Amino acid sequence: MKQLLTGNEAVARGLYEAGVSFASAYPGTPSTEILENAGTYTEIDAEWAPNEKVAMEAAIGASIAGVRSFAAMKMVGVNVAADPLFTYAYMQVHGGFVFVSADDPGMHSSQDEQDNRNFARFAKICMFEPSDSQEAKDMTRAAYDVSECFHVPVMVRMTTRICHSKSLVTEQERVPAPPIPYTRRTGEIDSVPAVARVRRVIIEQRQKKLQEWSETCPWNVEEPGDTSIGIVTSGAGYNYVKEVFGDSVSVLKIGFSYPLPMKKIRAFAEKVDTLYVVEELDSFMEDQIKAAGIACHGHDVIPNIGELDPHIVAEGILGKSYAGKSAPEHLCVPRPPVLCAGCPHRGFAYELARHKDVVMIGDIGCYGLCGTAPLNAKDLGLNMGSAFSIGHGMAHGFAMSDQQKRIVAYMGDSTFFHTGINALMEVSYNKSPVICAILDNRTTGMTGHQDNPGTGYTLKGQEAYAIDIEPIVRDLGIRHVRTVNPQNLTVMKETLDWAFSITDEPVVIVTKYPCALKKWTPLDTGEFTRTDATYEIRQDLCIGCRKCLSTGCPALRYDTEQKKSSISQADCAGCSLCAQVCPVSAIVKKEG
């Protein structure tokens, strides 16, 4: 049966067909939907982990136990999971182990543009690169056979375009994978130096075998065409090449991209007049091809910054524009991302920005949008779970350089569980005078409302123990802690004033209210009061001061001719922040 699937849905289908039993992940765009879809198969025990390192370790544990297992993450998540990955690469894999790195060329939803193909070479494992949904499914399925045949962790490198684009996929039945009974084999899976030194030699032998297999594997395919131009390409790059050239040039499509089939590439290069390498992002293949003494063009004509497209490929190789279709620019209205109407982070950011001489440190999540006008409540942000650690270091730097500034560092609930707990431990242990805020919107918001250890539910919707944040904070040694509803600006202001009054030790504020877009759970309805009311602006009372607009709510409008504000009833979530800031009480709850 054929289905129209995204690449992420196709990977999940590949897991099912390959007989995978266990899958773990931390949600991160563009990889999130893989685990969400894997969880729809009853045969797969799919779960959210607190972070990528834990997801990788749990999947490795299942592999060691003898069943086929899987982990998924976006590219920066592999940084977090690199420790167990590099060590497991030295071990003898028994139950097939595969993981996805979902890269983000163009940084559509990421803080950097790293090319994780480099991890395959760095960790001495092997790698597949699908170019559409059918390959995403088929390569995922094939990766388990490779993993068990060569006893190696296998990486499937996806990109945003492959993850989220849809194409037809022919589905097959699940092939159960009998578990491999666990036996004690210390010499193969214990990572002490004495064992690792022996394994170090073995993995080099394994790489040679993988190199030989790469030369004949069915995923590295030559597509003959005119020999004046030959193109070696992989992943999404293949689609752009085919869109520009069709069958008019010779193409070597690389699907199993590490180790590279260098003999096949050399033979292909000898058939063509000029060889080009089209890849996103780094010169991963190009450097290896040149190191092998094969002349080629790559990033001398194709940029290594940003996502490729047919226009870039045509311009680089042919020196002329691609006659494709694009939307007229006047129809593309700029729409910068903003906090949603009713977002509980808005009240915190609004009151925080009113304090002076403050360095405001954000983190990875929806609240990363607090730094833009009109909220202006963020100076910087680095990486997942870093806000408290950055704040701790800055506090030391300010003290040593006699700079009189306070620091407020904030992150979300899922981020706190991810890596924020250790960071807060650092602040507490070393008694940093940092104000730390944990913005608990009762879900993992930015990636699409996935559950986390604080929500009370698992990926499969089963009830779980809901971890309460405030007791954790107190157990870490923080004496000054308050939990507040950020929708109440009076309480939010008083709480921040209280926090700023404490200057010699750490303070933690927990803001707690569900995401405006979240489907409330029984736990939410038992703890919070929800309103379905919306607000409106009485035009006879509005003085056009635009104070309401300073909240940054996208439901608000301002008529420059009438010099009056109004509220879009379709967008209003009834949070009442605009009513709380209006100096003339012109904003009222709508009746009826």
What gap in Å lies between CA 280 and CA 233, rounded to an integer? 9
Mean pLDDT per 10-residue interval, the chain, length 592 residues = 96 98 97 98 98 98 97 97 97 96 95 96 98 98 98 98 98 96 92 94 97 97 97 97 96 98 98 98 97 97 95 94 78 86 97 95 95 95 96 96 95 97 97 97 95 96 96 98 98 98 97 96 92 93 97 96 96 96 96 72
Q: Residue 382 in contact with residue 373, Cβ under 8 Å? A: no
Q: Do domains 2-216 and 535-589 have the same CATH topology?
A: no
Q: Please state the separation of Cα 414 from the chain's center in Å.
A: 13
Strand partners for 158: 102
Q: Residue 506 in contact with residue 423, Cβ under 8 Å? A: no
Residue with tokens 């182990």: 97
**Residue type for position 540:** D
User: Residue 142's pLDDT is what?
Assistant: 98
Q: Tokens in use for 427? A: 């602040």
Strands 564-567 and 556-559: antiparallel
User: Residue 592's pLDDT is what?
Assistant: 64
User: Residue 591's pLDDT is what?
Assistant: 80
User: Residue 116's pLDDT is what?
Assistant: 97
**Residue type for position 583:** P
CATH number of 535-589: 3.30.70.20
What gap in Å lies between CA 280 and CA 140, rounded to an integer? 20
Q: 3.30.360.10, 3.40.50.970, 3.10.20.30, 3.40.50.1000: which CATH number matches 345-527?
A: 3.40.50.970
Q: Taking the domains of the chain in order of start, what are their residue ranges?
A: 2-216, 220-318, 345-527, 535-589
Q: Tokens in use for 268? A: 């292909």
Phi, psi of 423 (to 5 degrees): -65, -40
Q: Which fold has domain 220-318?
A: Rossmann fold (3.40.50)
Residues 6+ away with beta carbon under 8 Å from 400: none
Q: Which fold has domain 2-216?
A: Rossmann fold (3.40.50)
- Best CA proximity match to 251, nearest among 263, 269, 134: 269
